[in-house]
Amino acid sequence: MKGKIALEEHFGIPSFGEYASDLAAGLDQTIMRERLLDVTGRRLREMDEHGIELAVLSLTAQGAQAEPDAKRAVERAREANDFLAQEIVAKHPERFAGFASVALQDPIAAGDELKRAVTQLGFKGAMVNGYSNVVDRDTGEYYDLPKFFPFWERVETVGVPVYLHPRDPLPSQQLIYEGHPALLGPAWAWGVETATHALRLILGGVFDRFPGVNVILGHMGEMLPFAISRVEQRVAAFPETSKLRRPVSRYLQDNFYITTSGNFRTQALLNTMLEVGCDRILFAVDYPYEEMGTASGWFDSCPISEADRRKIGRTNAARLLKLDVPD
């Protein structure tokens, strides 16, 4: 399929290396670094080769979320957004769009930066890399807490989605992975961490309070589409769910979008289509950590209808992100 729009595509800035450690575990870190920094060379050639018209770029994890100092985190997020807008998107507006970096160590400032990025820089939403560190790298806060409500209110007002990208659990909470480092990162820990964070947003009432908020989950929903029925059944016995206005599965269907990033398996796609519907699924690669050829080769040939392929590959993203592109 030509004309695909890809939503989880990362770039790097040399001065942000302190926030991007251990992302390429098991991969050639030199190659990953080169691909993160080379946005307009090899990346554009591969996009052309594999039918990707537009890539929505986001600063590679962990980004501003890994900076414990709130004031510095706010400054670094703004710096990253200005770089993306001026040095990449402005020079290739027909090929790249942007997701803003926001520093949720200061929820008010994060909302202000989101509004600036959307209204002044033309960005299409935000990406946050899991919990935000506070005080030090072994403390963190999740975004269902009431202190983050002003941010979610701003998200709803501005009318753009937030992509919830994974990160490893806090170091003090990694005992179960001890002796098995292969299970940290994208193999397993990221999905568990991010799915749990998404459920916290649901159970914490974020979407009841701000029903217009849309959150994007990568990697075919971080396992949630496959587990949501059992989650819904079991959490119903707890008092906190009695306050929810909808069944847990309805929030997944109404307030989340799911991308194919890094999970190129037809069985997983079909299950996700059955759980949330093809109108809430979006194509993504997760470049440079995944290959465009692998993602596109699978997606372009997987056994779904051409109408659904068009929706997932292009028109759903165009609608959600309000992109000025032809159908």
| Of 286, 300, 308, 327, catalytic | 286
Residue count (the chain): 327
Q: Report in angstroms the alpha-carbon separations of 52 from 61, 86, 191, 324, 327.
A: 22, 22, 26, 16, 14
Report which of 198, 184, 201 is spatially closest to residue 227, judged by C-alpha positions.
198
Identify whether 286 is a catalytic site residue. yes
Structure tokens given for 135: 């005080």
Q: Which residue has the tokens 């970096």?
A: 101
Burial 250-272, CB ≥16 within 10 A → b, else e: ebbbebbbbbbbbbbeeebbeeb
Q: Which residue has the tokens 């994208």?
A: 186
Report which of 219, 214, 172, 213 is spatially closest to residue 195, judged by C-alpha positions.
219
Q: Which amino acid is present at 179?
A: G
Structure tokens given for 86: 């001026």
First to last CA, the chain: 13
With contact defined as beta carbons under 8 Å apart, do 151 and 204 qualify?
no
Task: Enumerate long-range contacts of 15-20, CB under 8 Å, 24 or more apart.
Answer: 16/59, 16/60, 16/63, 16/76, 16/80, 18/66, 19/61, 19/62, 19/63, 19/64, 19/66, 19/67, 19/76, 20/60, 20/61, 20/62, 20/63
User: Which strand (E) or helix (H) includes residue 53?
Assistant: strand 52-59
Active site residues per annotation = 286
